[in-house]
Amino acid sequence: MNKVNYDSVMRRQAEENRGKKLLLHCCCAPCSTACLERLKDYFEIYALFYNPNLGDEEYERRKAELVKLIQTTGWAKIIDCDRESERFAEAAKGLESQPEGGARCVKCFELRIGKTAETADEYGFDFFGTTLTVSPLKNAELINAIGERCAKKAKWLYSDFKKADGYLESVKLSKQYGLYRQNFCGCEFSRRR
């Protein structure tokens, strides 16, 4: 069975839908750099900072860095929403000891991508997507399947941003813009490992 080349699918979607409105879930500024740079010439982008998995201090730090990136580059507008840390706690309940990339992460992806889809539909966006696929530690096939399931009115923007050196570009751009680059996914459970 051939794997889907989500990067090619995304590039085709971008080319065919120039000027459309995209709501892009952004997990952090470093991951967002290469994704926003790749998409900025195609879509009118709104970056959604919805990360209920983050602890208080990490949440504020990542949010401030994303705002800094967007103000510096002008690649997107930002939408912030309620933190809803209790929703993450509920989703992760009983899965606290799961390894990185396990069932807890699936629940977290579903929560964040689901909220992005709801917000996209509520505000009339054409597409929604996420920066999560830029990480070499994240399963693009799983993330795209979740996005596909969550799509109602707005269409899912398929992606595998780590392709075509996306992750390496994010590292380079993070240095260029002087961004804080964390060394864990963000949830307190991953930090403890």
Instruction: Please give the full DSSP string across 27-60, using - where no structure is assigned.
Output: S-HHHHHHHHHHHTTTSEEEEEE--TTB-HHHHH
Average pLDDT value for residue range 104-118: 97
Whether 64 is covered by a domain: the verdict is yes
Would you state the torsion angle of the CA atoms of residues 9, 1, 145, 4, taken in this order, to the nearest 10 degrees? Answer: -10
Q: Is residue 116, in this structure, part of any structural domain at all?
A: yes
Per the domain annotation, does 117 fall within a domain? yes
- Domain extent at residue 72: 6-179
pLDDT at res. 101:
86
Rounded Cα gap, residues 193 and 100, in angstroms: 9
- Establish if 56 belongs to a structural domain: yes
**Residue 84 located in a structural domain:** yes
Q: Total domain count for the chain?
A: 1
Whether 191 is covered by a domain: the verdict is no
pLDDT band at 50 (very low <50, low <70, confident <90, very high): very high
Specify the residue for token string 């579903």. 110
The answer to whether position 186 is within a domain reads no
pLDDT of 37 higher than 60 = yes
For the cut 60, the answer to whether the pLDDT of residue 177 exceeds it is: yes
Residue given tokens 């002008």 in the structure block? 74
How would you label 63-78 residue by residue, b for 16+ Cβ within 10 Å and e otherwise? Answer: bebbeebbeeeebbeb
Q: Residue 57 sits in a domain of what CATH number? A: 3.40.50.620
Evaluate whether residue 193 is within a structural domain. no
Residue 25, pLDDT > 80, answer yes
Interval 159-166 mean pLDDT: 97
Q: What is the mean pLDDT of the chain?
A: 94
pLDDT above 90 covers a percentage of the chain that reads 87
Whether 151 contacts 13, CB under 8 Å: no
pTM of the model: 0.95
Strand locations in the chain (E): 21-25, 44-49, 77-80, 127-130, 155-156
